[in-house]
Homo-oligomer: A and B are copies of this chain.
Amino acid sequence: MEKQFEEFKQQLEDSGNVRERLRIIVADLDSVTRVMQADLLQVHYSSRSPEILKKAKSHIGKLKELYGQLAEVIKGTPGQYYRYHDHWRNQTNTVVFLIVYLNWLETGNLLSYAETQDTLGLNPDEFGLDIEDYLIGLCNVSSELPRYVVNQVTIGDYDCPKRVSKFLSDLYAAFRILNLRNDFLRKRFDGMKYDLKKVEEVLYDVKIRKLDSSGSAIETKQEAS
């Protein structure tokens, strides 16, 4: 009986060591994402200045490095990615949010699943991005957009609501075709409807006041005269 438990002891310690190594890497991931988030707060109060985006993007190299370390640890325990998944899941949701949001601020497009993996330097054969983690990251982007639109209109970008409304309604429609059996993901997706509604209300406010570029600046002036 004792010999057997000595083996268990060794295996539980090996697994404990894996968890310890993951914990340290994920703590570093947490630091980097907090800095990126702080950098990205600036986009709410300025036009989308290339400097802000550049600064936020400068951390991506560090993210790549940390995911490389995660992959290295997991390579050492073949077939056990999902055994340890809980360790990096939350951080990865945030990382996807940051990467996809940044790209959207720059290009107005949705960074695809494959592009997101590329950006993080992930090799799906070794350590891929869980699809649900990607989708939760997209829900996080959605929940950031209402505040972004409100602040952009405040600083005078009246065309922003239309762009965001289009992007978000497309994203919402795409999600609707999924059969979400994962309760957490389904709940996060339910929130997207309210994000979209809020963005549409801002678009409405701008439209009804004819503040956007398709409205007649002249009429607005007349009204004000």
Contact = CB atoms under 8 A, between A and B. Distances in A.
A216 to B, nearest CB: 10
Interface stretch (A53-61, A91-99, A177-185): A177-185
Interface string A3-34: 01110110111001001000000000011001
Interface string A150-167: 110110000000000000
Contacts of A150: 197, 200-201, 204
A9 B35 CA distance: 12
Number of copies of this kind of chain in the complex: 4
A147 interface: yes
Nearest to A150: B204
Interface string A181-225: 100000000000000010011111111110100000001111111
* Interface range for A: 35 or more
B177 A35 contact: yes
B1 A171 contact: yes
Nearest to A146: B197
A51 interface: no
Interface in A45-81: 45, 78-81
Contact of A208 (B4, B151, B197, B205): B205
B78 A12 contact: no
